[in-house]
């Protein structure tokens, strides 16, 4: 493929609007869809606030909320707020009313956008021309707006009663719920009067749901002025990707969207490059897209053959940041650009829990894992004082200087710059070989990261860490024991679904063993309590467990020196049979858990079939996925399950699943694939006329799909070999090309002696 003819698929400058390119956020989307469904029947919907730092993906999530709302029949209104909207009450509520009415007319209300009502409305608000006959514009607010603007009375108050009456007319005409999506909600946080008016208007106006994005500091302001309605907001926190699988999909899907086979230009097999990008970007979607944009550009311009992180890419990203902002007028960056490696190393350590830990806490964890190999306490404290003097960090001395009142957490170490300063500093340090990150993490996360780094040399070891509700309970052992018990346990997957899911898949990995050897570690400090579990990734090589046990026990002396209680024990967890595990999932009352497990099995099936070429393991996961959810809601899952069952000869299951995939797919881009597979299925059954009809339908649908989007992972091609119809599996085919070949094969078979050929 000539990449020079393609656009760069990594659009770091804009939020995601295509559902296919939207990855991760499963829990957040579950919350959103739940409250959308609630709003369809509730008298007063519960509004949503999407809260997170800049460039964390809030607007993309807002866009997906709009997509899901449209699927559910909402009239969707999108409003991008800016600084002008906070200037006058009249201006803001005109923008709100105008957006709602325009969306309603777009949906066919009041005769549509070309109707008399909307045309009259435009005359009123644009020309300030108020008709004597207001039959065609049955609203009060536009008239008030026109009169105020015509008299230059931009500070005119707005009548709550009249405004709500106008909204009620629109809602009645639309005859379905209306969702208003506000982006950049922090603009409103600067205007008390806007928030109070918004509260008064929507608190008692049925049929309207609000979704607003904002940074975490939005709600302290809203709590102050918005108190009667703040209880109607469900707060959803939007942070960085925690799982590198989300980063992997963020890298992979844009390539698939433009028709590039991802493995051709990126090494997904080892996951090392995925991990590097995940760590470098801190899981922030914007930065992942920016890095990948630069990586793809270098491949596209033939500088390199594959997308791989190196010094040149880091320099390209840093230069892009310099273009977007003038770093020479940013005092913090001017100072940091003069730092040598030791200072950058110190800054990296001190900002490991940016704004969440004191110096003493940071030093305690550093000493526990590294002794004084990298720093002494005095040397690191001198660096802290130096950074505070420069205004780069804020600590006890800096806060005292500002004259703030005493506070128990006043010596918490925090970077003094903004998000841009952080991003630029990170790439500047990376160019010098320093993996600097500003982690807005709690102390428990910092401990987990340092623990993983300490055990990294123990190859083949997998770990999970958690902050327990009680430091005396081994939660993993408790869940595993309950799961392996013969007694019914209805609440297991409801009480601890995440841990239960981890234990479930670990038991499946050890399904041929009786026990799972593990190391359990528990750390207790006055300000930190955490647990971790460690086990062998390969069930046939468990020596790493004993190595892990020895290494962790070496830490106990230093733990005593910092006042910590570190308990390390070797345990053996029982393994439940596959049938017992399956019955537990099948009979759980937590239906969402069951569907999530089914989806994860389908994903594992894809990996085993396509990447590992392990048909037995793929079928194992396919059977469990189908057992838990025989009617998947995603067309791609239904299609892929059907394909694998067809590959192993289970044609009845394949037919049900592929037929469902056709029923729930949306548009030719999706329907062409399952229809082709149904054609292959009919050919396998020997029904060549039905097979030809399905193949021809697939061809017509595939013709409407861009060439770069027609490539799939694998398909069965229909070919005649030695007077016999063969089904040859081909990798990375163009569905239209394979379908046309199948069409010709079937037409030849139908025109020939039917007794001469056999499927």
Q: How many CB atoms lie within 10 A of CB 700?
A: 13
Q: What is the pLDDT of residue 226?
A: 53
Confidence label for 69 from pLDDT (cuts 50, 70 and 90): very high
Q: Rounded to whole angstroms, how far apart are CA atoms 643 and 320?
A: 44
Bin 540: left if φ > 0, else alpha if -120 < ψ < 50, else beta. alpha
Residue 195 in this model has a pLDDT that exceeds 50: yes
Residue 55 in this model has a pLDDT that exceeds 80: no
> Scanning the structure block, which residue is given the tokens 């909307």?
118
Residue 210 in this model has a pLDDT that exceeds 70: yes
* Strands in 29-171 per DSSP E: 47-51, 75-80
How confident is the model over 174-190, as a mean pLDDT?
86
Q: What is the pLDDT of residue 151?
A: 86
How confident is the model over 375-396, as a mean pLDDT?
90
Q: What is the pLDDT of residue 632?
A: 93
Residue 688 in domain:
yes
Residue 727 in this model has a pLDDT that exceeds 90: yes
255 shares a domain with 206: no
Residue 484 in domain:
yes
Residue 494 in this model has a pLDDT that exceeds 60: yes
654 shares a domain with 632: yes
Residue 198 in this model has a pLDDT that exceeds 70: yes
The first and second tokens of residue 553, run together, are 């026990």
Q: What is the pLDDT of residue 225?
A: 55
Q: In this predicted model, what pLDDT tens digit does every residue of 648-682 receive, in sequence order?
A: 999 999 999 999 999 998 777 789 999 999 999 99
- The percentage of residues in the chain with a pLDDT greater than 90, rounded to a whole number, is 47
Q: What is the pLDDT of residue 222?
A: 61
Q: What is the pLDDT of residue 52?
A: 86
Between the two ends of the chain, the Cα-to-Cα distance in Å is: 35
Residue 199 in domain:
yes
Residue 589 in domain:
no
Confidence label for 559 from pLDDT (cuts 50, 70 and 90): very high
Residue 165 in domain:
yes
Q: Rounded to whole angstroms, how far apart are CA atoms 400 and 406?
A: 8
Please name which of 163, 177, 144 lies closest in space to residue 75, comparing C-alpha atoms. 177
Indicate yes or no: pTM above 0.95. Answer: no
Residue 220 in this model has a pLDDT that exceeds 90: no
Q: Which long-range contacts (CB under 8 A, 24 or more apart) does 365-373 make?
A: 365/443, 365/446, 365/447, 365/450, 366/450, 367/558, 367/561, 367/562, 368/450, 368/555, 368/558, 368/559, 368/562, 368/564, 369/450, 369/451, 369/453, 369/454, 369/555, 371/558
Q: What is the pLDDT of residue 373?
A: 92
Residue 119 in this model has a pLDDT that exceeds 50: yes
Q: What is the pLDDT of residue 759?
A: 52
Q: What is the pLDDT of residue 179?
A: 94
75 shares a domain with 128: yes
The larger pLDDT score, comparing residue 324 to residue 445, is at 445
- Helix (H/G/I), strand (E/B), else coil: 373: coil
484 shares a domain with 426: no
Confidence label for 327 from pLDDT (cuts 50, 70 and 90): confident
Q: Pick from 169, 202, 237: which residue ends a domain?
A: 237
Residue 722 in this model has a pLDDT that exceeds 50: yes
289 shares a domain with 194: no
The larger pLDDT score, comparing residue 310 to residue 192, is at 310
Residue pair 531/456 in contact (Cβ under 8 Å)? The answer is: no
358 shares a domain with 475: no
Q: In this predicted model, what pLDDT tens digit does every residue of 418-466 receive, in sequence order?
A: 888 888 898 899 888 898 888 877 888 889 889 988 998 888 899 887 6
Q: How many CB atoms lie within 10 A of CB 5?
A: 8
Q: Is the dihedral of CA 243, 245, 251, 253 positive or negative?
A: negative
Please name which of 732, 646, 748, 735 lies closest in space to residue 695, comparing C-alpha atoms. 735
Residue pair 204/167 in contact (Cβ under 8 Å)? The answer is: no
Q: What is the pLDDT of residue 27?
A: 86
Least confident range from 197-211, 297-311, 421-435: namely 197-211
Residue 111 in domain:
yes
How confident is the model over 125-139, as a mean pLDDT?
80
Confidence label for 281 from pLDDT (cuts 50, 70 and 90): confident
What's the structural domain count of the chain? 4
Q: What is the pLDDT of residue 402?
A: 41
Residue 11 in domain:
no
686 shares a domain with 578: no
* Those residues with Cβ within 8 angstroms of residue 199's Cβ, 6 or more apart along the chain or in another chain: 225, 226, 228, 229
Confidence label for 184 from pLDDT (cuts 50, 70 and 90): confident
Q: In this predicted model, what pLDDT tens digit does every residue of 83-102 receive, in sequence order?
A: 887 788 888 899 999 999 99
115 shares a domain with 56: yes
Residue 329 in this model has a pLDDT that exceeds 70: yes
Confidence label for 393 from pLDDT (cuts 50, 70 and 90): very high
Q: What is the pLDDT of residue 160?
A: 86
Confidence label for 33 from pLDDT (cuts 50, 70 and 90): very high
3-state SS, 447-486, equals HHHHHHHHCCCCCCEEEEEECCCCCCCCHHHHHHHHHHCC
DSSP string, 627-646: HH-SS-SSHHHHHHHHHHHH
Residue-wise over 490-506: b if at least 16 C-beta within 10 A, else e? Answer: eebbeebbebbbbbbeb
Q: Pick from 411, 431, 451: which residue ends a domain?
A: 431
Residue 592 in this model has a pLDDT that exceeds 90: no
Q: What is the pLDDT of residue 224?
A: 60
553 shares a domain with 490: yes
230 shares a domain with 316: no
Q: In this predicted model, what pLDDT tens digit does every residue of 236-267 receive, in sequence order?
A: 888 888 888 899 999 999 998 888 888 888 88
Confidence label for 409 from pLDDT (cuts 50, 70 and 90): very low
423 shares a domain with 366: yes
Q: Rounded to whole angstroms, how far apart are CA atoms 552 and 554?
A: 5
315 shares a domain with 208: no
Q: What is the pLDDT of residue 282?
A: 83
**Domain span including residue 37:** 25-237
Q: Pick from 374, 407, 431: which residue ends a domain?
A: 431
Read off the CATH number of the domain in which 685 is found: 1.25.40.10
Q: Which helix (H) or strand (E) holds 519?
A: strand 515-525
Q: What is the pLDDT of residue 223?
A: 61
Q: What is the pLDDT of residue 712?
A: 86
Q: What is the pLDDT of residue 197?
A: 80
Residue 410 in domain:
yes
Read off the CATH number of the domain in which 78 is found: 3.40.50.300
């Amino acid at each position: 493929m000539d990449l020079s003819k393609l656009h760069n698929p990594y659009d770091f400058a804009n939020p995601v609007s295509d559902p296919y390119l939207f990855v991760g956020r499963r829990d957040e989307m579950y919350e959103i869809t739940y409250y959308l469904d609630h709003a369809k029947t509730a008298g007063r919907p519960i509004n949503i606030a999407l809260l997170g730092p800049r460039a964390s993906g809030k607007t993309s999530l807002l866009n997906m909320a709009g997509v899901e709302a449209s699927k559910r029949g909402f009239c969707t209104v999108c409003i991008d707020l800016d600084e002008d909207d906070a200037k006058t009450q009249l201006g803001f509520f005109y923008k709100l009313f105008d957006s709602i009415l325009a969306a309603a007319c777009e949906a066919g209300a009041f005769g549509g956008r070309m109707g008399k009502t909307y045309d009259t409305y435009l005359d009123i608000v644009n020309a300030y021309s108020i008709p004597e006959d207001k039959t065609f514009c049955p609203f009060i607010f536009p008239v008030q707006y026109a009169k105020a603007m015509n008299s230059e009375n931009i500070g005119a108050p707005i009548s709550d009663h009249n405004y709500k009456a106008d909204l009620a007319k629109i809602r009645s005409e639309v005859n379905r719920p209306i969702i208003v999506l506000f982006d950049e909600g922090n603009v409103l946080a600067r205007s008390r009067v806007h928030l109070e008016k918004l509260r008064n208007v929507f608190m008692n106006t049925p049929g309207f749901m609000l979704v607003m994005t904002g940074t975490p500091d939005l709600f302290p302001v809203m709590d102050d002025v918005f108190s009667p309605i703040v209880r109607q907001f469900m707060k959803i926190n939007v942070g960085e990707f925690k799982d590198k699988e989300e980063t992997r999909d963020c890298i992979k899907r844009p390539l698939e969207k433009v028709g590039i086979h991802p493995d051709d230009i990126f090494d997904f097999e080892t996951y090392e490059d995925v991990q590097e990008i995940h760590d470098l970007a801190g899981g922030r979607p914007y930065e992942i897209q920016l890095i990948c944009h630069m990586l793809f550009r270098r491949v596209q311009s033939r500088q390199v053959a594959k997308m791989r992180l190196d010094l040149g890419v880091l320099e390209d990203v840093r230069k892009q940041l310099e273009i977007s902002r003038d770093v020479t007028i940013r005092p913090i960056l001017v100072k940091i650009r003069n730092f040598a490696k030791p200072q950058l190393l110190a800054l990296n350590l001190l900002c490991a829990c940016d704004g969440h830990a004191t110096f003493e806490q940071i030093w305690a964890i550093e000493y526990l894992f590294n002794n004084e190999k990298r720093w002494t306490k005095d040397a690191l404290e001198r660096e802290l004082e130096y950074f505070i003097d420069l205004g780069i960090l804020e600590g006890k001395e800096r806060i005292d200087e500002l004259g703030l009142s005493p506070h128990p957490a006043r010596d918490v170490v925090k970077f003094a710059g903004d998000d841009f300063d952080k991003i630029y500093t990170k790439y500047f340090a990376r160019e010098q070989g320093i993996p600097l990150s500003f982690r807005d993490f709690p102390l428990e996360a910092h401990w987990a990261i340092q623990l993983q780094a300490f055990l990294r040399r123990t190859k083949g070891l997998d770990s999970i860490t958690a902050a327990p509700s009680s430091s005396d309970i081994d939660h993993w052992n408790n869940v595993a024991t309950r799961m392996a018990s013969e007694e019914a346990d209805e609440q297991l997957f409801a009480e601890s679904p995440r841990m239960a899911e981890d234990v479930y898949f670990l038991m499946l990995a050890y399904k041929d063993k009786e026990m799972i050897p593990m190391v359990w570690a528990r750390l207790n400090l006055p300000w930190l309590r955490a647990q971790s579990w460690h086990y062998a990734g390969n069930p046939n090589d468990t020596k790493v467990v004993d190595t892990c046990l020895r290494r962790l026990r070496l830490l106990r002396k230093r733990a005593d020196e910092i006042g910590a209680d570190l308990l390390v024990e070797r345990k053996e967890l029982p393994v439940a049979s596959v049938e017992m595990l399956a019955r537990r999932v099948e009979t759980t009352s937590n239906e969402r858990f069951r569907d999530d497990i089914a989806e994860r099995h389908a994903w594992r099936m894809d990996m085993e079939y396509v990447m590992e070429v392990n048909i037995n393991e793929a079928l194992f996961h396919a059977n469990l996925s189908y057992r838990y959810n025989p009617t998947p809601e995603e067309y791609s899952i239904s299609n892929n399950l059907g394909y694998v069952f067809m590959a192993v000869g289970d044609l009845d299951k394949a037919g049900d699943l592929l037929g469902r995939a056709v029923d729930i797919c949306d548009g030719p881009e999706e329907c062409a694939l399952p229809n082709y597979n149904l054609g292959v299925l009919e050919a396998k059954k020997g029904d060549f006329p039905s097979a030809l009809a399905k193949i021809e339908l697939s061809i017509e649908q595939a013709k409407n799909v861009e060439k770069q989007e027609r490539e799939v992972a694998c398909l069965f091609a229909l070919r005649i070999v030695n007077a016999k119809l063969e089904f040859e599996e081909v990798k990375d085919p163009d569905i239209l090309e394979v379908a046309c070949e199948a069409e010709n094969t079937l037409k030849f078979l139908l025109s020939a002696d039917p007794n001469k050929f056999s499927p």
